[in-house]
Structure 1
Amino acid sequence: MESHINSYITLVATSAVLNVFLCLYTYIRRAEIPSSKIFILYTAALSVYTFGYAIELASSTLEQMKFWTTVEYIGMPFSASLGLLLMIQYTGRTLSKKWTATLFVIPSITLFMVATNDFHHLFYKRVWLREDSSVPLMDIAIGQWYVVHGAFTFSCLLCACLILIGQWRHTKKMYRRQLLTLITSQIIPMVAAFVYLLGLTPGGMDPVPVLMCITSAMYIWAILSSRLLTIVPIAKDSIFESMREGVIVLDSSNRLVDYNKSLRNMLPELDLSMVGQYLNDIWLSLAGETFPVEYGREGLQTDLYWQLNGETVCYQVRTSYVYNKEGQAVGTLIMLIDITEQRFLQEQLKQLAYFDGLTKIYNRTQFLLRGREILSDAQLNLRPAAFILFDIDHFKRINDTYGHDVGDQAIIHVVSVCNRFLNSEMLFARYGGEEFVIAVPHASLQDGEQLAEKLRVALLNDPLDVQGTRIPLTSSFGVAQYNGGSDSLESLLRDADTALYESKRNGRNTVFAHAVSLG
């Protein structure tokens, strides 16, 4: 019997050493191991458990055995919870802080119960030395909390095992050896603990610490052969759910098959009851129209604007086919990428590049670019075009009298009045500080004069109101016309500027036209 106990102690001590090795190895390589913190605590708990049990077996008095039993329970009950957390993390899942803390409630109570058992006998009803053994061995009669502790430990091992088994079909073949190692590491102690509780082990010895030698060796083998824990396969489901992009999966008939969490955030109205429905029908119920993107072809990339929480958001839509093993298209993958901020920045840059910041009409650069297009069209189609330059009379006096803020209001007011008389074909821009320019396609010089006169009268009759103070605003206009020939936009604007100068020389608040330039 003594030789058997010595062999048993040797195996348990070996198991403890292997767990210490795993703990130290993980600590040293912690930067490379995603779940290093949990695994370090897990192997440390197993080390305490197995070393405590080895020393308990080597003890000669009941008091010593009880002490080392308490040491064992510093590690053993917590190892079950840590093992479950490790397997949860391995499969790409997470637990909230609340549920994580809950997993350690029963182990903490168990440690307290073991340490104070002499006062309540709720964990062990009775502890004594065996009389039928040639070496001192401790025997126990289990109490109520021992049953709770055993059920909890068994449940943790079973849950961890089921979680791993559930990931089998989602795991690539190259990672299944890792997964099988982890499943076995949960099954071995679970079965051993069950057999021990039934009293079927030789000599009534706890087989779990000895079998930990096997599981620890398996961990070491898996780490060295397949880089267990260093390269962790994440379940496809976890990847799908954790993607920042919204994903819609359709079958070959364009019916909804699946969607991820990001898409639910993008489209809160979407729910599981819509799975199996046609995408166009779903979109019709959500937005009152069919899906606005042609998703039935490979490689599509376009923008989709959507109202979310009262704000307009922009998603870039990308599509690709889903293929089976035979290479046949069996469905469509639609990815929605939130590019709202990007489009907002692009719009801001466009505003800065194209439009005047104060008035929001075109700036000088854009007028010159688009004005040349209007002139080219006129030259190509042998049609006229009119160009109007005007500015605000005595603008410096307004700034000096009322301040630059009122000057800005005057500029905005002039633009607002003019916009009432301009259509979308006309090109309206701020040409300088208080100077504006208008290009009118297909308009003769007389048409340009008539439009300028309308604007002059409208400005004269609509003074600027600043907190009850009415400030008269007038403008002087110069009009030029392209009527064939090789005139450039710059030369036509010089002609309009000459006519504007004549308007100023003749008392301002007037319209002058430049003589028609013949080609």
Structure 2
Amino acid sequence: MAAWLFLFGGLLSLSGVVYAYRVRKMPGALPLFALFALTGIIMFASGREELLPGLADKLLWRNVQQIGYLYAPLSVLWLALTYTREGSKLTRQTVVLMLAIPTAGLILIYTDSFHHLMRVQVYLNEAGILVIQRTMLNQAIYGFSLLVSLVGLYVLVRSVFYTRGVQRRQLLYLIVGMYLPSVLAFLRGTGLLDYQGYTASIGITYLPGLMIVGWGVLRYHLFDSVPFPRNRLFDMMSEGIVVLDADGRLQDLNGAARRMLRMHDDMWQRRHVSDTPLPSERWLSAHRDRVEIVSFDFALGEGEDERQFTAKITPILHRNRVLLGSLSVLTDRTEERRRELALRQAAVTDGLTGIYNRNGFIDELTRVLEQAREQGGGALVARARH
């Protein structure tokens, strides 16, 4: 039974490798490729260990598994830093140190028959299962790998607070999928989960995590878009950002959009666009037409409270033009329109003033000429000089 589970896990890992290669241009694809490849090594090597009867053969494939166990935590941290766009924080010295320790551990494992620094005793129990008693050095090296994995967990969990909507669910699926094996291994080590035989191996604990990450890839397109610290970009923008899913429900609003729409509470999430102040019919039409960019003007409020906006709606399409949602950019034109109206009113006022002044001048000139005729030419000259 366990052999079939290992085979299933290996095929899942292989599918993950193929998927990571297909999205290789996306941030996080390369460490995802490495993580799936290392998981596949663990799965297939665990299956071979169970099937082969001899101590030497089992030990050989147990050693092969250590490649995955030692380097998978590094891939987890690499994936977390790349996926959250924080990879620049790694220095060259840190990378060298993180690679040196598991590499040294792997070399010591493969040469353990000469110095026994990693294993105290290796034998087969009555059930034919390989049993290894580890040294303190062995535990320290694998403890370092666990620490690296926890740093990756910290990076991903911290990024959850910077994202919302679909991006947050993407991160949660990634966190649960990658760290569920560690949780199951901890529960097994404390005796809270009682497994016997090869079903208790660490390789089996990777299966639920692989399935969760796979579901996240299919359901939420984990690596078609990557999260980033939204509060450092979106909330600094003067334009409003509105993100809808394929059903027309709100997935994300930045601070400017919430101020424009006067939606200051946290109840806007998953609200349909028809339940917002936005002109829903025009919005949904632009949202579903899948035109590259749709732009139109609209107004919110009445009378003195009326505000003018321009909306630009861009569809978010997956492969084969499958609609994932839309991104809308709102620009507040209220002050611009008010200034334009004020200029028009000023132009009209200036025009009326000019007409009034011209008519007044003509009337005054006519009056002076009439008086000149009455008083004679001399008076005309005097008034003209005056």
Give 1:204 deviation, angstroms: 6.1
Work out which structure has the larger RCO, using CA pairs closer than 8 Å and 6 or more positions apart in sequence: 2
Amino acid at match of 2:124: L
Mapped to 2, the partners of 1:187 and 1:48 lie a distance apart of 18
Give the corresponding residue for 1:26.
20
Corresponding position: 1:41 with 2:26? no
User: Over alpha carbons, which structure has the higher Rg?
Assistant: 1
Alignment CA distance shift 1:117-1:197 (3 Å): farther
Corresponding position: 1:162 with 2:162? no
Give 1:127 deviation, angstroms: 0.4
Mapped to 2, the partners of 1:29 and 1:166 lie a distance apart of 25
1:143 pairs, out of 131, 135, 152, with 135
1:90 pairs, out of 70, 83, 86, with 83
Give 1:209 deviation, angstroms: 1.4
Give 1:81 deviation, angstroms: 0.6
Q: What is the SS of the residue equivalent to 2:59?
A: helix
Cα pair 1:27 1:40 within 8 Å, conserved: yes
Corresponding position: 1:213 with 2:193? no
Mapped to 1, the partners of 2:220 and 2:72 lie a distance apart of 24
Amino acid at match of 2:78: L
Amino acid at match of 1:17: L
Unaligned runs of 5+ in 1: 1-6, 241-246, 250-297, 300-321, 331-519
Q: What is the SS of the residue equivalent to 1:103?
A: helix
Corresponding position: 1:11 with 2:1? no
Corresponding position: 1:71 with 2:60? no
Amino acid at match of 2:168: R
Give the % identical residues. Answer: 23
Corresponding position: 1:153 with 2:157? no
Mapped to 1, the partners of 2:83 and 2:202 lie a distance apart of 23
Give the corresponding residue for 1:175.
167
TM-score (norm 2): 0.58
Cα pair 2:157 2:175 within 8 Å, conserved: yes
Amino acid at match of 1:159: V
Give 1:149 deviation, angstroms: 2.6
2:43 pairs, out of 38, 44, 50, with 50
Amino acid at match of 2:130: M
Amino acid at match of 1:75: G
Give 1:11 deviation, angstroms: 1.1
RMSD: 2.8
Q: What is the SS of the residue equivalent to 1:170?
A: coil
Q: Deviations over 1:60-108 (max 9, x none)?
A: 0000011111111122210111111101111110123332232212211
Give 1:180 deviation, angstroms: 0.9
Corresponding position: 1:222 with 2:205? no
Amino acid at match of 1:185: G
Q: What is the SS of the residue equivalent to 1:167?
A: helix
Mapped to 2, the partners of 1:120 and 1:60 lie a distance apart of 26
Give 1:213 deviation, angstroms: 1.7
Give the corresponding residue for 1:233.
227
Q: What is the SS of the residue equivalent to 2:196?
A: helix
Give 1:197 deviation, angstroms: 4.1
Amino acid at match of 2:160: W
How many residues are paired up? 244
Q: What is the SS of the residue equivalent to 1:82?
A: helix
Alignment CA distance shift 1:147-1:169 (3 Å): same
Amino acid at match of 1:193: A
Normalized per residue, the structure richer in strand is: 1
Alignment CA distance shift 1:190-1:177 (3 Å): same
Q: What is the SS of the residue equivalent to 1:127?
A: strand
Alignment CA distance shift 1:48-1:238 (3 Å): farther
Mapped to 1, the partners of 2:51 and 2:197 lie a distance apart of 16
Q: Deviations over 1:223-253 (max 9, x none)?
A: 122111121111236658xxxxxx8x9xxxx
Q: What is the SS of the residue equivalent to 1:70?
A: helix
Q: What is the SS of the residue equivalent to 2:123?
A: strand
Q: Which is worse superposed, 146-155 or 74-83?
A: 146-155
Cα pair 1:192 1:207 within 8 Å, conserved: no
Mapped to 1, the partners of 2:19 and 2:190 lie a distance apart of 36
Give the corresponding residue for 2:291.
none
Give 1:323 deviation, angstroms: 5.0
Normalized per residue, the structure richer in helix is: 2
2:196 pairs, out of 196, 203, 211, with 203
1:126 pairs, out of 118, 121, 127, with 121
Mapped to 2, the partners of 1:207 and 1:68 lie a distance apart of 13
Corresponding position: 1:186 with 2:178? yes
Amino acid at match of 2:207: C
Q: Deviations over 1:241-268 (max 9, x none)?
A: xxxxxx8x9xxxxxxxxxxxxxxxxxxx
Please show how residues 307-318 of structure 1 align to structure 2 within 5 Å.
none
Please show how residues 466-505 of structure 1 align to structure 2 within 5 Å.
none
